[in-house]
Amino acid sequence: MHPREVNEAFFRLPTLDLAQRLLGKELTLNGVGGYIVEVEAYIGPHDRAAHSYGGRRTPRTEVMFGPPGRAYVYVIHGHHCLNVVSGEEGAPEAILVRALEPTRGIKQMIERRGRTDHLTDGPGKLCQALGITRQHNGWDLLTSPLRISDGMTVETVAVGTRIGIDYAGEARDYPWRFWIDGNPHVSRPRRALRTFRLG
């Protein structure tokens, strides 16, 4: 039985299971946030798309080698991206949070984003909207102001390949992207390889 409640055991689920279970959970920073509607799993060191591919251990990736349930925040092309550290300690795996459905602090999101639409439908957008930066790297997602908590019930999950990893050889075809089927806040709607009911 998979834990439904967000607690320490929840974050210790196998990475692909945890990625699916993150859908519908609420991500907030100081009360601003929304429901997670899209994620991607990265399972290093055998995943060529993962920052930890080949066991790469650097100051940037160090948090991935620690306990699950921590925030891994990095910068790419000038944008911050938030990942949930997963896997056992010493197994550098993580789940990228790609999109949220805004629920709390929408006025602050609009001020930070400088627009009223497309507030959180992308990993960089949601970090800007919530104010997530490298300062939050390593924060405990259970006990810190940056936290993941119980949210809404999810019925149907769509499965597809990850986005923006054309460099990653065979790993670009791994079906490790999950999103809430039909949700309008998903970053890039695509035809799903399959859908299933999240029991």
Q: Reply yes or no: is the peptide bond before residue 45 cis, omega within 30 of 0.
A: yes
Report how far residue 170's alpha carbon sits from residue 119's, in angstroms, rounded to the nearest whole number: 32
Token representation of residue 192: 């799903």
Higher pLDDT, 166 or 131: 131
Q: What is the pLDDT confidence band of residue 17, given thresholds at 50, 70 and 90?
A: very high
Report how far residue 188's alpha carbon sits from residue 68's, in angstroms, rounded to the nearest whole number: 27
- pTM of the predicted model, to two decimals? 0.96
Query: What does the mean pLDDT of the chain come to?
Result: 94
The string of pLDDT tens digits covering residues 26-73 is 999 999 999 999 999 999 888 999 999 888 899 989 999 999 999 999
Tracing tokens 């699950």 back to the chain, one arrives at: 68
Phi/psi zone of residue 104: left (φ > 0), alpha (ψ -120 to 50 degrees), beta?
beta
Domains of the chain: 8-197 (3.10.300.10)
Assess whether pLDDT exceeds 50 at residue 14: yes
Q: What is the mean pLDDT of residues 163-179?
A: 91
CB-count exposure of residue 16 (10 Å: 0-12, 13-18, 19+): middle
- Greatest mean pLDDT range, 51-55, 108-112, 169-173: 108-112
Assess whether pLDDT exceeds 50 at residue 1: no
